Chain A
Amino acid sequence: MNTQAPVLQLKDIRKNFDAVVAIENFSLDIYPGEIVALVGDNGAGKSTLIKIVSGVYGPSSGTITIEGETVAMSSATMARSHGIEVVYQDLALADQQAVYMNMFLGRELTNGIGLLDRKTMISETEKLVKELDVRIPSAHATIRDLSGGQRQGVAIARATRWAKKLILLDEPTAALGVAETAKVEEIVQSLKSRNIGVLIISHSLDQVFKLSDRICVLRRGKQIGIRKTSETNKNEIVSMITGVN
């Protein structure tokens, strides 16, 4: 499976916020169609790492390589132009806009004379939420009127709509019920067949073991290790997360 070149290579990534070192010495390769789980306690630096990959923060040092090309990602636009989509922990949705406008946020479709093509955006949105079984009242619904799970569904649907190479998911099921969680897990697994790489952050080890091919552990900004999911167990991962054995 790993005969292909990695979609994403991170090398010696370091990020500090003034005196706080959020991430250091972080290296990881993600291959097409592979699901890598990123685990660690609160404040370990997981979200920071995702934001570095997505271009929200520039790394203080280290290199990011996408499909063999070293990129200097200084903006989220750049990440997206490389086919990378993110579902942020603090959802990046515009609350007072309709679902379909959020689905196309920053990438609105226009017709021949430059006016918004609402019709196509709405029908594409309806098709997509149906495919992914995201239960929202309609594509016209305002985000503010949706439940937490429905919002999460919209954010994930948006990411899968646009991702070409890699999806970064920051605790995608933290706010979800049992059925919705299963649904999201199903969607994540379906990305494999589209050969899209996935980096998923989760505090649920059950979920991590169910979904991932490899597990990467962070503790206080340090990369403790990477394990093949098939060659490790929960006890080992827990002791890596906590530093206690």
Chain B
Amino acid sequence: MSSATSNAANPAMSMISRINIQQYVVYVGFLAIFLFFAIVLKDSGFLTVRNLSNIVLQTAPITIMAIGMVFVLSAGEIDLSIGSTVAVAALSAAVTMNAYGMIAGIAAGIGAGVAIGLVNGLLVAYVRLPSFLVTLATLGLFAGVARSLTNLRSIPVTDSMFTGFFGSGSLLGIPSLIWWTVIAIVAGHLIFRETRFGAHVLATGDNARAASVSGIPVPRIRLAVLVISGALAGLAGLLYAGRLQAAKYTLGETDLMTVIAAVIVGGTLLNGGKGSIIGALVGSLMMGMLNNGLILMGLSVSDQMIVRGLIILAAVAVSLREKLR
């Protein structure tokens, strides 16, 4: 008798525990902000196709970096260095491209990201230094490198094939930046959700000891997520260089907070074990929309920063509440 009752109650219970409110916060938040701007800014051009597609184009580098950050955070680490990786990658690509052509430039940009990821990853995975400190240090270090690389000068990117491929071009009527976003999201989601590697990333961030005694190569996972993050930050650098047709040391400087906010709002836990690529995409679009809307509303730069800071605070609060539940 009692077992019959519990059988009936259990599926319902598990349904409830699977539908977890936090997963939906980002969608609700996205819709709320969208509706808010659609109403408040309906005469300022927020709802025009041009403006909306602009939002998506502008957030492409953020979305790409957010994918890397989902992997890193889910593995229980963090990568603060993306803020300066973007500029180093873009400058490396621009300088190399102007001397040796497009392919070499692309390789240099991605290569710079991978190299920075390797430095972070080796120190975190094998020297066992905390990723927060390692990547804080490399953030500063490579910000310096970006500045000294070209003496603070902006480097023009004129290769039209490159700027088409990574910036203003389009294929089948769809802008290349959207292609990049879609490809990265689909690949990222598949790898994160549907492969053993993704499962191992989550297990590592959830309980590194359990992962380790279960035969998961924890150090290699930590190295891998930081390299992925570096490579994607490198790609983000190429996208900036392609869209702006120039590389400068300031590229990506203010992106770190936006990326982390997008990822956390999207349901990825700061302390590992849980993440969502799709959530990060929605979080990233939400951040882009917020930027766009606040500008259209005529808020000053300082007010924009305050509002964004408050949103991030709220996001982190929700994230930690979930963890402590």
Chain A positions within 8 Å of B, measured between CB atoms, are 54, 56, 75-77, 80, 86, 88, 91-97, 101, 105-108, 110, 114-116, 135, 137-138, 140-142, 145
User: Could you tell me if A94 and B202 are in contact, using CB atoms closer than 8 angstroms?
Assistant: yes
Given A106-B200, A138-B10, A141-B17, also A95-B212 (CB < 8 A): no
Number of interface residues of B (CB under 8 A): 30
Known: A107-B214, A135-B6, A145-B17. 7 other contacts (CB 8 A): A76-B213, A97-B203, A105-B211, A107-B215, A114-B196, A116-B195, A116-B196
A85–B28 Cα distance when bound, in Å, is 45
A21–B269 Cα distance when bound, in Å, is 40
CB distance from B36 to the nearest CB of A (A): 33
A26–B107 Cα distance when bound, in Å, is 57
A91–B14 Cα distance when bound, in Å, is 22
B273 CB-CB contact with A under 8 Å: yes
Q: Which of A92, A96, A108 has the most CB of B within 10 A?
A: A96
Q: Which of A94, A114, A116 has the most CB of B within 10 A?
A: A94
CB distance from B225 to the nearest CB of A (A): 16
Specify which chain B residues have a CB less than 8 angstroms from the CB of A91 in the assembled complex.
210
Can you offer 20 A-B residue contacts whose CB atoms are under 8 A?
Answer: A76-B212, A77-B215, A92-B207, A92-B210, A92-B213, A92-B214, A94-B211, A95-B207, A96-B202, A97-B273, A101-B203, A105-B203, A105-B214, A106-B200, A108-B196, A115-B194, A116-B193, A137-B17, A142-B17, A145-B17
A110–B6 Cα distance when bound, in Å, is 33
Which residues B205-254 have CB closer than 8 A to chain A?
206-207, 209-216
Specify which chain B residues have a CB less than 8 angstroms from the CB of A54 in the assembled complex.
213
B50 CB-CB contact with A under 8 Å: no
User: Could you tell me if A95 and B273 are in contact, using CB atoms closer than 8 angstroms?
Assistant: yes
User: Could you tell me if B202 and A97 are in contact, using CB atoms closer than 8 angstroms?
Assistant: yes
B190 CB-CB contact with A under 8 Å: yes
Nearest A residue to B193, CB-CB = A116
A53–B202 Cα distance when bound, in Å, is 27
Chain A interface secondary structure, helix, strand, loop or mixed? loop
CB distance from A129 to the nearest CB of B (A): 12
User: Could you tell me if B273 and A76 are in contact, using CB atoms closer than 8 angstroms?
Assistant: no
User: Could you tell me if A94 and B190 are in contact, using CB atoms closer than 8 angstroms?
Assistant: no
User: Could you tell me if B190 and A115 are in contact, using CB atoms closer than 8 angstroms?
Assistant: yes
CB distance from B262 to the nearest CB of A (A): 21
Specify which chain A residues have a CB less than 8 angstroms from the CB of B206 in the assembled complex.
94-97
A45–B214 Cα distance when bound, in Å, is 23
User: Could you tell me if A137 and B215 are in contact, using CB atoms closer than 8 angstroms?
Assistant: no
Specify which chain B residues have a CB less than 8 angstroms from the CB of A95 in the assembled complex.
206-207, 273
Specify which chain B residues have a CB less than 8 angstroms from the CB of A107 in the assembled complex.
214-215
Specify which chain A residues have a CB less than 8 angstroms from the CB of B211 in the assembled complex.
94, 105-106
Specify which chain B residues have a CB less than 8 angstroms from the CB of A88 in the assembled complex.
213
Specify which chain B residues have a CB less than 8 angstroms from the CB of A106 in the assembled complex.
200, 203, 211, 214-216
Which residues B122-167 have CB closer than 8 A to chain A?
none
Specify which chain A residues have a CB less than 8 angstroms from the CB of B198 in the assembled complex.
116
CB distance from B74 to the nearest CB of A (A): 10
B119 CB-CB contact with A under 8 Å: no
A77–B274 Cα distance when bound, in Å, is 25
Specify which chain A residues have a CB less than 8 angstroms from the CB of B190 in the assembled complex.
115
Specify which chain B residues have a CB less than 8 angstroms from the CB of A80 in the assembled complex.
215
User: Could you tell me if A94 and B203 are in contact, using CB atoms closer than 8 angstroms?
Assistant: yes
Nearest A residue to B196, CB-CB = A108
CB distance from A195 to the nearest CB of B (A): 24
User: Could you tell me if B210 and A93 are in contact, using CB atoms closer than 8 angstroms?
Assistant: yes
A211–B72 Cα distance when bound, in Å, is 46
B298 CB-CB contact with A under 8 Å: no
Minimum-distance CB pairs A-B, first 4: A106-B214, A94-B206, A92-B210, A106-B215
User: Could you tell me if B17 and A110 are in contact, using CB atoms closer than 8 angstroms?
Assistant: no
CB distance from A156 to the nearest CB of B (A): 15
Given A80-B215, A140-B14, A142-B17, also A116-B200 (CB < 8 A): no
CB distance from A90 to the nearest CB of B (A): 8
